[in-house]
Homo-oligomer: A and B are copies of this chain.
Amino acid sequence: MLYSELVGKTNKTAKQFESINATLLQKGGYIRPLMSGVYSYLTLGLLVLRKIEQIVREEMSAVGGQEILMPVLHPKENWEATGRWDTMDCLFKIKGSGGADMALGPTHEEIVTPLVQAYVLSYHDLPRAVFQIQTKFRNEARSKSGLLRGREFLMKDMYSFHSDEADLDQYYAKVEKAYEKIWNRLGLGDKTLKTYASGGAFSKFSHEYQTLSENGEDIIFICKKCNVAVNKEIFGEQNACLQCGNKDLLEKKAIEVGNIFKLKTRFSESFQFTYVDRGQSKKSVYMGCYGIGISRLMGVLVELFNDGKAIYWPKEVAPFDIHLIGLNQEDDTVCGNASALYNKLRAEGKSVLFDDRVNISAGEKFADADLIGIPTRLIISKRTGPEPERKEIKFSL
């Protein structure tokens, strides 16, 4: 990609927003707000989003998740069946033609349960897991945290279906491992803790994955022995590590990047979703659900990998493999060397952002490269000749 042709340029003078991710992603030309909590992803931004998406997709597929795609528009009846039409927080409601009430999906238990029900008749058809990477909606009153809390956002939501609780437990443990792989691949492994949280009506606890960040909205208490945490929301009752009982806990701010939840029969019962077991009797299906905020993760990566002025993308999610910077591109030899290298790298299968602009100072080009934050930079200048100078930008959490 030629920087000269890129849609979504850096903007050094962009204003400061309340959150560092909103500020830096806009300075870098990654996103642009349309209204509070609603963003467009520009060329660079979509590349990062798709890379995060792909990592999550691979790990969900590796644990047998099948990718599907469910709708945004949900009929009221499905939400009434579970009793959540009136109780769901921030549910966007809309009238269809003819006056039909609908919701914009903030989550998909109401849709996935009857969907999978149609194809699961007996124990032969279990277990199953389906996931989607899909745009979700929450009618938030306030959303000023950039990509951390949107009114429209991209989620991965997986749902699993089991013949009994033991099978659910086993799969739940498998997904826990898949989630750990995802945090590691994103470079967030050391900062992301499995955290006990409220289990809602049907489980004692659910689990969140919380990434430590001074700008987090959640407060967690970390057990240094077990390296798990407890969310403050349940800490009143549980002022000790829930795994070892240790009471010497560290209080930290964090951002929830994922959650996993044993729904058990909460939703299958709402839809009378049963299967025929080996003994020919009808049993309720056990369900689990597993969320990851894809667009939120993009925001979290910026919150963690920045120095206040610039983004430092982990290699796995950088929008391009290489940022090739041609200095003095107005010089024919430099321009020729840089273009030849650009073509060679692409022929080798590398993705390259090539700053091919002429009459732009070295200082400005380097400042833009900092704002964009691709870690591997190759520089061609009058001094280098055809062999580029290589810079690997490192950032330690």
Shortest beta-carbon distance, A360 to chain B, in Å? 11
CA distance in complex: A92, B35 (Å): 18
Report whether B70 and A40 are in contact in the complex, using a CB–CB cutoff of 8 Å: yes
Shortest beta-carbon distance, A359 to chain B, in Å? 11
Q: Which of B34, B66, B78 contacts A74 (CB 8 A)?
A: B34
Residue contacts A-B, CB under 8 angstroms, 17 given: A7-B68, A29-B119, A34-B74, A34-B75, A34-B78, A34-B115, A40-B68, A40-B69, A40-B115, A43-B67, A43-B68, A46-B69, A72-B135, A73-B151, A90-B97, A94-B104, A96-B151
Report whether A66 and B6 are in contact in the complex, using a CB–CB cutoff of 8 Å: yes
Whether a CB of chain B sits under 8 angstroms from the CB of A128 is yes
When all copies of this chain in the complex are counted, the total is 2
Residues of B within 8 A of A49 (CB): 69
Shortest beta-carbon distance, A3 to chain B, in Å? 12
Q: Which of B73, B119, B139 contacts A96 (CB 8 A)?
A: B139
- Do A72 and B69 form a contact, CB below 8 Å, given A9-B119, A92-B94, A97-B141? no
Whether a CB of chain B sits under 8 angstroms from the CB of A164 is no
Residues of B within 8 A of A240 (CB): none
Residues of B within 8 A of A40 (CB): 68-71, 111, 115
Whether a CB of chain B sits under 8 angstroms from the CB of A5 is yes
Residues of B within 8 A of A41 (CB): 68-70
Residues of B within 8 A of A69 (CB): 40-41, 45-46, 49
Whether a CB of chain B sits under 8 angstroms from the CB of A130 is yes
Whether a CB of chain B sits under 8 angstroms from the CB of A283 is no
- Do A71 and B5 form a contact, CB below 8 Å, given A40-B111, A98-B141, A151-B96? no
CA distance in complex: A46, B34 (Å): 29
A64 and chain B: residue at smallest CB distance: B5
Shortest beta-carbon distance, A120 to chain B, in Å? 9
Residues of B within 8 A of A39 (CB): 71
Shortest beta-carbon distance, A72 to chain B, in Å? 6
Report whether A7 and B130 are in contact in the complex, using a CB–CB cutoff of 8 Å: yes
Interface string of A126-163 (1 = CB under 8 A from B): 00101000010101110000000001100000000000
Report whether B66 and A128 are in contact in the complex, using a CB–CB cutoff of 8 Å: no
Interface string of A223-260 (1 = CB under 8 A from B): 00000000000000000000000000000000000000
A130 and chain B: residue at smallest CB distance: B7
A46 and chain B: residue at smallest CB distance: B69
Report whether A128 and B97 are in contact in the complex, using a CB–CB cutoff of 8 Å: no
CA distance in complex: A169, B38 (Å): 34
CA distance in complex: A29, B40 (Å): 34
CA distance in complex: A32, B1 (Å): 39
- Do A72 and B74 form a contact, CB below 8 Å, given A7-B66, A97-B140, A151-B96? no
CA distance in complex: A176, B96 (Å): 35
CA distance in complex: A128, B1 (Å): 13
Residues of B within 8 A of A67 (CB): 43, 46
Report whether B140 and A34 are in contact in the complex, using a CB–CB cutoff of 8 Å: no
Report whether A32 and B137 are in contact in the complex, using a CB–CB cutoff of 8 Å: no
Shortest beta-carbon distance, A218 to chain B, in Å? 22
Report whether A32 and B118 are in contact in the complex, using a CB–CB cutoff of 8 Å: yes
A357 and chain B: residue at smallest CB distance: B124
Report whether A119 and B7 are in contact in the complex, using a CB–CB cutoff of 8 Å: yes
Q: Which 7 A-B pairs have the closest CB atoms?
A: A41-B69, A97-B141, A43-B66, A94-B94, A40-B70, A38-B71, A35-B75
Whether a CB of chain B sits under 8 angstroms from the CB of A116 is yes
Shortest beta-carbon distance, A321 to chain B, in Å? 17
